[in-house]
């Protein structure tokens, strides 16, 4: 079978010959989904580096027992800001960024359904991020010294009430996250409307790329799961500023109510965060295995199932708050059941690779890293769902290890795969493959070195969120190894940043379709013109470019 | 784009002509309503959970009166806005303005009645948001609803004023429809708030 | 190297022990350990099978140099039988685990206290533990004494609540966590089989000094426990040798926050000091309770536990000596 040669196009520069202020204006005032998507991803990468530096300081402090590199308050602020930043200012904008950039291209349309709402979502997200970080200046009240919030990213009441968190740090946390959440909801409604209403002719739901499907369900989860957090934050602000009693235990309020509302948001949230990785894998693995996604209907079913079951598992974060044995059993059962569709996804990705011709390039390496690490994360998740086991593991370093395996070993690896895969589409340049391999191996070794030992210290009884620990409980060696892993991770990230800068400035020109791919974004130029497609495409199968490249063996014959 | 041309199947024209997808505004407003409903569920849930948990008075049965008239007004405004919409569909601009004004007046009266109720609760019964759990949950739930009524009224007024100034509102039939959906949603939420606060809360407390 | 690191002893820091969750010393901890072993076995098996399959697939189907890059592999779209298999098998495994969880949850949570069970009330404070023995009418802090019987016939039931923010009660060898939450009472129970000191931490983030809010359970032989409670019930020792020191102590601000039963010190904000010297540690497990530890602590608590609510009283050396010698008389 012959592959079709694409007429190599002159890449259309996004900003041809404009002065600085004109360029700035173009970016600030833009409503183009690609520019907004890019701005989301770039600001998320910025916050990723900031929160990563915080993590390094945390590991430096914990490298040895009774370390005094930072004082307790500083340490507590570091892990609070690290967690909050990674979740709300890295994970969430990555969801919005990837879906903004890619969904319209993949479904063959010229923009999102509501371009101006899109711009609003981005800027209000950024405002929320700045508001959160402004706490370092204004957190102690404008007259006092600044202080960031120090109550953990899930901000359990009553620690956040006026009596226990004086100053304004908790307010910056609540308002900053509330405001950036508005942006996420705006962007999610936009993705749903775009997906349901803007598909090109012939693209039925069953032919939609898997990426778009996952992002559709992801947006659904954002729409139904973020308001509980917003409600809790509004209540907290009412408590703090109008003297309301929602979480004031002295006046009969309930500290457990906050936990329920937080986790009704919080558990779907972890699926919201991991879904972009699911979406990316579902595109990258088939292309690099040269086979269609195995079991597409099952994959769609699994992601939709997660989109509903994950709404009913939240209280597995609360097995220790003294719920009845019936509630504990129910939430243990539902939490384990949500593992089934997740398992189906891992099996199908593996089956996609089975029998293929695996091109072992950086995007696929990150996908394989994802598969093995996310498998571990899923299995430790099952352990945490077994409530009696969780009574021991809850809030220990085991949990820290578990969710870093999902969010770093899973999400971040997936995002790297996505960045290496779509970078040529976005910039018209290829990322350096050699640097990419260095990035992968350094980061993979460092990540496992850091987070595998944390499982052990958790089982040896080390609670999370402790600024220091005493020697003699068997935690020292593992903590030291974990801290050494950070060096490798840092080196990996430095290679990655260097690769991004070098390749976008002096990289090799990429053809429009460097990976010989099958979805519509590769049918247009790299980078795509503002209008995406000269002529809107019409499709007949889920792999329109496969049909095009294999006219004798098109996919639509099998549908 | 040569590549793209070849991607087009033979029956492309036919497919393009038959290709029908839902209206994006409809989808957008439906999901806006879903996300808002979840927000209200949380506040209504907090109200229900805290029924009977106040450590000090005043309690609902001491101070709350059912806002029957105001509720009737709000519910009838859902009808008047439908009449207005129908008038617009039939291009009867005068009737549209009339019904639209009636909707604003009914919604405005509801808001006024809430204000009167709050004034009485605060200045006569000394119930504020910080008094007890009843005050906390009552003001936040009813207040959240009232804030939605205010937003709705602002939009209604914008439509009314621009129409009076001669803006061809008939061209915006679709947007008027979405505004009307939002207004129905605000009314629907009042059914929930009313049941929780004035029926469930009064009975149990 | 591992052994070397484990044996490091920092002067002034209480001796620690390895608190492995699999060293179950009570009935609940043992039940949790059984559930954990089963879960670990199942998960390990899944990891080996699925992980092995992934590695095998990658190794076998990787593109090698010299492969024909133009020939696409056979396009396989899926298989309903295979999908059904890997949906049903995980569901069956999950049901087994649900059954095990349900049984252990019920056995631990729904156990009703025997009539002669000891009842203790634990109140969490920012960053120490108040321990009340309602049946014996005394209060102590940070170290819980309970009887240990080899057959577990003398179980201890704990009522847990908090005076401020959320805390969590966790001694890995004695069982899983239970949170201490204000305006709410939670229950847990322990029945240590072997006498000894068990160590744990507050496991729910509770503010600045969360890391240094340690907890000890000292399981005594029943007769030792009886002696201990007898001593705790007494008023504070009034040693005439330290009368001067006692008077000096009474004149300091210490009495506003601390209770020493039988003396004018009736504060309730800090830990009860009536029988301070019967405890192994001070500052919620931060320092060894000996002369040096006491002196360091009283001189400046902010030095060993920065951010805690006990201020440095800026005592002169003479005052410090007197306070320490008085405290050391509180046997």
For residue B74, what pLDDT is reported? 95
Rounded CA-CA distance B88/B82 in Å is 10
Alpha helix positions (H), C47-126 = 52-61, 80-109
Rounded CA-CA distance B77/C105 in Å is 53
Residues in C closer than 8 angstroms to A343, CB to CB, are 86, 90
Residues paired with residue C132 on neighbouring β-strands, in sequence order = C121, C139
Distance (Å) from the alpha carbon of B98 to chain A's nearest alpha carbon: 32
Q: How confident is the model at residue C115 (pLDDT cuts 50, 70, 90)?
A: confident
Rounded CA-CA distance A177/A233 in Å is 9
- The answer to whether C203 contacts A396, with C-beta atoms less than 8 Å apart, is yes
Residues paired with residue C281 on neighbouring β-strands, in sequence order = C288
Q: CA–CA distance from B98 to each of B84, B85, C187, C280 (Å)?
A: 8, 11, 65, 83
- The answer to whether A371 contacts C35, with C-beta atoms less than 8 Å apart, is no
Question: Among C14, C84, C119, which Cα is nearest to A469's?
Answer: C14
* Interface-testing mutation among A5, A166, A320, A556, with chain C (most C C-beta atoms within 10 A): A320
- Examine the pLDDT at C43 and tell me if it is beyond 70: yes
Higher pLDDT, A10 or A120: A120
* Interface-testing mutation among A246, A389, A478, with chain C (most C C-beta atoms within 10 A): A389
Q: A342 in helix, strand or coil?
A: helix
Residues in B closer than 8 angstroms to A231, CB to CB, are 39, 42-43, 46
Give residue for tokens 């003398």: C154
For residue A405, what pLDDT is reported? 96
Mean pLDDT of A418-446: 95
Q: A141 in helix, strand or coil?
A: coil
* Interface-testing mutation among C76, C103, C167, with chain A (most A C-beta atoms within 10 A): C76
Q: How far is CA B21 from the centre of its chain?
A: 27
Tens digit of each residue's pLDDT (9 = 90 or more) over A222-243? 999 999 999 999 999 999 999 9
Nearest to C177 among A395, A462, A558 (CB): A395
Rounded CA-CA distance B93/B77 in Å is 18
Nearest-by-CA chain B residue for A525: B1
Nearest to C46 among A289, A379, A472 (CB): A379
Residues in B closer than 8 angstroms to A194, CB to CB, are 24
Residues in A closer than 8 angstroms to B178, CB to CB, are none
Q: How confident is the model at residue B10 (pLDDT cuts 50, 70, 90)?
A: low
- Examine the pLDDT at C8 and tell me if it is beyond 50: no
Tens digit of each residue's pLDDT (9 = 90 or more) over A54-63? 999 999 999 9
Question: Among A277, A189, A198, which Cα is nearest to A226's?
Answer: A189
Mean pLDDT of A73-77: 92
Rounded CA-CA distance B165/B20 in Å is 36
Q: C177 in helix, strand or coil?
A: strand
The structure tokens listed for A34 are: 């690609």
Distance (Å) from the alpha carbon of A155 to chain C's nearest alpha carbon: 9
Top mean-pLDDT range of A179-183, C60-64, C313-317: A179-183
**Chains contacting A (3+ CB pairs below 8 angstroms):** B, C
- The answer to whether B21 contacts A196, with C-beta atoms less than 8 Å apart, is yes
- The answer to whether A322 contacts C178, with C-beta atoms less than 8 Å apart, is yes
- The answer to whether C5 contacts A477, with C-beta atoms less than 8 Å apart, is yes
Region for residue A201 given its phi and psi (left: phi exceeds 0; alpha: psi -120 to 50; beta: otherwise)? beta
**CB of A103 closer than 8 Å to CB of A114:** no
Tens digit of each residue's pLDDT (9 = 90 or more) over B78-121? 999 999 999 999 999 999 999 999 999 999 999 999 999 999 99
* Interface-testing mutation among B24, B50, B174, B175, with chain A (most A C-beta atoms within 10 A): B24
Rounded CA-CA distance C297/B61 in Å is 55
What ranges make up the beta strands (E) of chain C?
A: 118-125, 128-133, 138-141, 143-147, 156-162, 167-171, 175-180, 186-190, 196-202, 214-220, 281-282, 287-288
Helix or strand (DSSP H, E) at A429? strand A429-430
Distance (Å) from the alpha carbon of A551 to chain C's nearest alpha carbon: 14
**CB of C210 closer than 8 Å to CB of C202:** yes
The structure tokens listed for C105 are: 């949850």
Residues paired with residue C188 on neighbouring β-strands, in sequence order = C158
Share of chain B above pLDDT 90, in %: 76
- The answer to whether C211 contacts A295, with C-beta atoms less than 8 Å apart, is no
Largest CA distance in chain B: 78
For residue A401, what pLDDT is reported? 97
- Examine the pLDDT at B168 and tell me if it is beyond 60: yes
**Interstrand relation of C156-162 and C186-190 (parallel, antiparallel or unpaired):** antiparallel
Rounded CA-CA distance A99/A194 in Å is 10
**CB of A276 closer than 8 Å to CB of A95:** yes
For residue B35, what pLDDT is reported? 96
Nearest-by-CA chain B residue for A205: B21
Q: How confident is the model at residue C67 (pLDDT cuts 50, 70, 90)?
A: confident
Question: Among C79, B189, C204, which Cα is nearest to A322's?
Answer: C204
**Chains contacting B (3+ CB pairs below 8 angstroms):** A
For residue A449, what pLDDT is reported? 96
3-state helix, strand, coil in chain C (%, to 5): 40, 20, 40
Nearest-by-CA chain B residue for A7: B2
For residue A23, what pLDDT is reported? 87
- The answer to whether B22 contacts A196, with C-beta atoms less than 8 Å apart, is yes
On average, the pLDDT of chain A sits at 92
- Examine the pLDDT at B12 and tell me if it is beyond 70: no
**CB of C123 closer than 8 Å to CB of C140:** no
**CB of A331 closer than 8 Å to CB of C102:** no
- The answer to whether B16 contacts A548, with C-beta atoms less than 8 Å apart, is no
For residue B5, what pLDDT is reported? 47
Nearest-by-CA chain A residue for B39: A227
For residue A209, what pLDDT is reported? 95
Question: Among A545, A552, A532, which Cα is nearest to A100's?
Answer: A532
- Examine the pLDDT at B1 and tell me if it is beyond 90: no
Mean pLDDT of C81-99: 94
Q: How confident is the model at residue A195 (pLDDT cuts 50, 70, 90)?
A: very high
Residues in B closer than 8 angstroms to A118, CB to CB, are none
Distance (Å) from the alpha carbon of A548 to chain B's nearest alpha carbon: 5
DSSP at C133: E
- The answer to whether A7 contacts B34, with C-beta atoms less than 8 Å apart, is no
Terminal Cα distance for chain C, rounded: 41
The per-residue DSSP string of B69-86 comes to HHHHHHHHHHHHHHHHHH
- Examine the pLDDT at A12 and tell me if it is beyond 70: no
**Interstrand relation of C175-180 and C167-171 (parallel, antiparallel or unpaired):** antiparallel
Angle made by CA atoms A326, A330, A334, in degrees to the nearest 5 = 175
Q: How confident is the model at residue C151 (pLDDT cuts 50, 70, 90)?
A: confident
Question: Among A230, A235, A234, A231, which Cα is nearest to A247's?
Answer: A235
Distance (Å) from the alpha carbon of A196 to chain B's nearest alpha carbon: 7
- Examine the pLDDT at A557 and tell me if it is beyond 80: no
Distance (Å) from the alpha carbon of C274 to chain A's nearest alpha carbon: 27
For residue C10, what pLDDT is reported? 45
The structure tokens listed for A305 are: 């199932």
Share of chain C above pLDDT 70, in %: 95
Tens digit of each residue's pLDDT (9 = 90 or more) over C301-310? 999 999 999 9
Share of chain C above pLDDT 90, in %: 77
Give residue for tokens 């049965």: B61
Residues in A closer than 8 angstroms to B8, CB to CB, are 537-538
* Interface-testing mutation among B31, B132, B143, B144, with chain A (most A C-beta atoms within 10 A): B31
For residue A480, what pLDDT is reported? 96
On average, the pLDDT of chain B sits at 90
Tens digit of each residue's pLDDT (9 = 90 or more) over B32-41? 999 999 999 9
Q: How confident is the model at residue C145 (pLDDT cuts 50, 70, 90)?
A: very high
- The answer to whether A538 contacts B15, with C-beta atoms less than 8 Å apart, is yes
The structure tokens listed for A386 are: 């077994």
- The answer to whether A548 contacts B6, with C-beta atoms less than 8 Å apart, is yes
Higher pLDDT, A140 or C315: C315
ipTM of the complex: 0.93
Higher pLDDT, A84 or B20: A84
- The answer to whether B7 contacts A226, with C-beta atoms less than 8 Å apart, is no
For residue A536, what pLDDT is reported? 86
Distance (Å) from the alpha carbon of C33 to chain A's nearest alpha carbon: 7
**CB of B70 closer than 8 Å to CB of B119:** no
Tens digit of each residue's pLDDT (9 = 90 or more) over C204-257? 999 999 999 999 999 999 999 999 999 999 999 888 888 899 989 988 999 999
Mean pLDDT of B172-188: 94
Q: How confident is the model at residue A5 (pLDDT cuts 50, 70, 90)?
A: very low
For residue A299, what pLDDT is reported? 95
* Interface-testing mutation among B18, B46, B131, B175, with chain A (most A C-beta atoms within 10 A): B46
Terminal Cα distance for chain A, rounded: 21
């Amino acid at each position: 079978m012959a592959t079709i040669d694409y007429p190599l196009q002159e890449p259309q520069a996004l900003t041809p010959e404009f002065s600085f202020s004109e360029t700035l204006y173009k970016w600030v005032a833009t409503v183009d989904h690609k520019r907004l998507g890019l701005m989301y991803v770039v600001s998320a990468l910025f916050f990723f580096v900031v929160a990563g530096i915080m993590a390094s300081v945390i590991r430096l402090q914990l490298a040895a027992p009774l370390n005094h590199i930072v004082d307790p308050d500083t340490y507590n602020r570091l892990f609070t800001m690290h967690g909050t930043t990674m979740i709300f200012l890295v994970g969430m904008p990555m969801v919005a960024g990837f879906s903004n950039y890619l969904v319209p291209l993949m479904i063959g349309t010229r923009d999102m359904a509501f371009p101006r709402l899109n711009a609003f979502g981005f800027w209000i997200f950024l405002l929320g991020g700045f508001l959160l970080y402004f706490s370092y200046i204004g957190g102690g009240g404008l007259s006092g010294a600044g202080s960031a919030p120090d109550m953990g990213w899930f901000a359990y009441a009553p620690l956040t009430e006026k009596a226990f968190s004086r100053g304004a740090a908790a307010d910056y946390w609540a308002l900053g996250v509330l405001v950036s959440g508005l942006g996420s909801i705006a962007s999610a409604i936009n993705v749903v409307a775009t997906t349901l209403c803007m598909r090109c002719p012939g693209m039925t739901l069953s032919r939609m790329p898997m990426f778009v499907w996952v992002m559709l369900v992801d947006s659904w989860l954002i729409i139904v799961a973020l308001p509980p957090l917003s409600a809790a934050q509004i209540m907290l602000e009412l408590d703090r500023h109008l003297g309301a009693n929602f979480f004031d235990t002295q006046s009969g309020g309930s500290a457990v109510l906050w936990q329920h509302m937080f986790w009704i948001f919080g558990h779907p949230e972890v699926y919201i965060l991991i879904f972009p990785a699911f979406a990316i894998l579902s595109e990258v693995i088939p292309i690099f295995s040269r086979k269609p996604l195995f079991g597409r209907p099952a994959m769609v079913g699994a992601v939709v199932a997660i989109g509903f079951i994950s709404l009913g598992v939240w209280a597995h974060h609360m097995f220790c708050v003294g719920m009845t044995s019936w509630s504990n059993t129910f939430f243990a059962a539902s939490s384990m059941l949500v593992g089934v569709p997740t398992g189906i996804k891992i099996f199908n990705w593996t089956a996609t690779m089975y029998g293929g011709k695996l091109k072992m390039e950086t995007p696929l390496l990150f996908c394989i890293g994802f598969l093995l690490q996310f498998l571990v994360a899923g299995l430790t998740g099952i352990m945490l769902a077994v409530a009696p086991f969780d009574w021991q593991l809850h809030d220990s370093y085991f949990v820290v290890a578990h969710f870093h395996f999902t969010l770093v070993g899973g999400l971040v690896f997936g995002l790297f795969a996505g960045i290496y895969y779509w970078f040529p589409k976005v910039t018209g340049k290829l990322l350096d493959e050699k640097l990419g391999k260095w990035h992968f191996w350094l980061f993979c070794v460092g990540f496992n070195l850091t987070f595998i030992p944390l499982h052990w210290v958790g089982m040896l009884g080390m609670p999370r969120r402790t600024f220091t620990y005493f020697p003699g409980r068997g935690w020292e060696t593992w903590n030291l190894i974990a801290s050494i892993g950070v060096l490798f991770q840092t080196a990996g990230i430095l290679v990655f940043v260097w690769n991004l800068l070098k390749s976008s400035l002096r990289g090799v020109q990429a053809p429009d379709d460097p990976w010989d791919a099958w979805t519509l974004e590769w049918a247009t130029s790299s980078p795509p013109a503002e209008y995406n497609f000269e002529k809107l495409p019409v499709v007949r199968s889920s792999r329109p470019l496969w049909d095009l490249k294999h006219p004798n063996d098109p996919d639509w014959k099998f549908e | 784009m040569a590549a793209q041309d070849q991607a087009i199947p033979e029956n492309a024209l036919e497919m393009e002509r038959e290709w029908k997808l839902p209206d994006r505004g409809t989808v957008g407003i439906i999901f806006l309503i879903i996300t808002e409903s979840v927000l209200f569920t949380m506040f209504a849930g907090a109200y229900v959970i805290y029924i009977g948990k106040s450590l000090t008075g005043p309690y609902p049965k001491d101070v709350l009166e059912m806002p029957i008239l105001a509720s009737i007004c709000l519910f009838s405004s859902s009808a008047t806005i439908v009449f207005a919409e129908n008038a617009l569909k039939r291009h009867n601009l005068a009737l549209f303005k009339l019904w639209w004004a009636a909707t604003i007046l009914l919604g405005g009266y509801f808001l006024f009645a809430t204000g009167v109720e709050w004034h009485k609760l605060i200045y006569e019964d000394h119930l504020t948001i910080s008094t007890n759990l009843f005050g906390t949950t009552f003001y936040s739930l009813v207040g959240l609803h009232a804030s939605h009524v205010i937003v709705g009224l602002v939009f209604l007024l914008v439509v009314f004023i621009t129409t009076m100034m001669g803006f061809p509102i008939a061209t915006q039939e679709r947007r008027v429809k979405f505004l009307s959906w939002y207004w129905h949603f605000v009314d629907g939420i009042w059914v929930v708030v009313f049941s929780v606060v004035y029926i469930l809360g009064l009975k149990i407390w | 190297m591992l052994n070397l690191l484990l044996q490091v002893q920092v002067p002034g820091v209480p001796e620690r022990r390895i608190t492995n969750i699999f060293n179950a010393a009570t009935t609940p901890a043992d039940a949790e350990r059984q559930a954990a072993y089963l879960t670990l076995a199942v998960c390990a098996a899944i990891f080996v099978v699925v992980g092995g399959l992934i590695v095998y697939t990658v190794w076998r189907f990787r593109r090698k140099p010299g492969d024909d890059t133009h020939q696409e592999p056979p396009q396989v779209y899926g298989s309903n039988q295979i999908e059904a298999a890997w949906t049903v098998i995980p569901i069956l495994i999950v049901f087994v685990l649900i059954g095990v969880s349900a049984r252990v949850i019920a056995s631990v949570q729904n156990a009703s206290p025997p009539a002669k069970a000891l009842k203790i009330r634990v109140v969490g404070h920012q960053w120490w533990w108040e321990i009340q023995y309602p049946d014996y009418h005394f209060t102590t802090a940070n170290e819980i004494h309970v009887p240990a019987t080899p057959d577990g016939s003398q179980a201890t039931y704990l009522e847990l609540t908090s005076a401020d923010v959320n805390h969590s009660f966790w001694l890995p060898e004695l069982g899983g966590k239970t949170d201490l939450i204000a305006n709410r009472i939670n229950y847990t129970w322990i029945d240590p089989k072997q006498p000894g000191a068990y160590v744990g931490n507050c496991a729910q983030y509770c503010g600045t000094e969360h890391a240094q809010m340690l907890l000890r359970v000292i399981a005594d032989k029943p007769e030792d426990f009886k002696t201990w409670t007898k001593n705790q019930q007494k008023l504070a020792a009034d040693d005439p040798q330290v009368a001067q020191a006692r008077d000096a102590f009474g004149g300091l601000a210490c009495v506003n926050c601390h209770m020493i039963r039988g003396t004018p010190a009736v504060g309730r904000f800090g830990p009860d000091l009536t029988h301070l010297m019967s405890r192994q540690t001070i500052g919620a497990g931060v320092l060894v309770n000996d002369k040096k530890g006491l002196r360091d602590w009283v001189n400046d608590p902010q030095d060993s536990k920065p951010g805690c609510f006990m201020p440095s009283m800026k005592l002169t050396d003479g005052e410090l000596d007197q306070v320490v010698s008085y405290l050391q008389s509180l046997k």
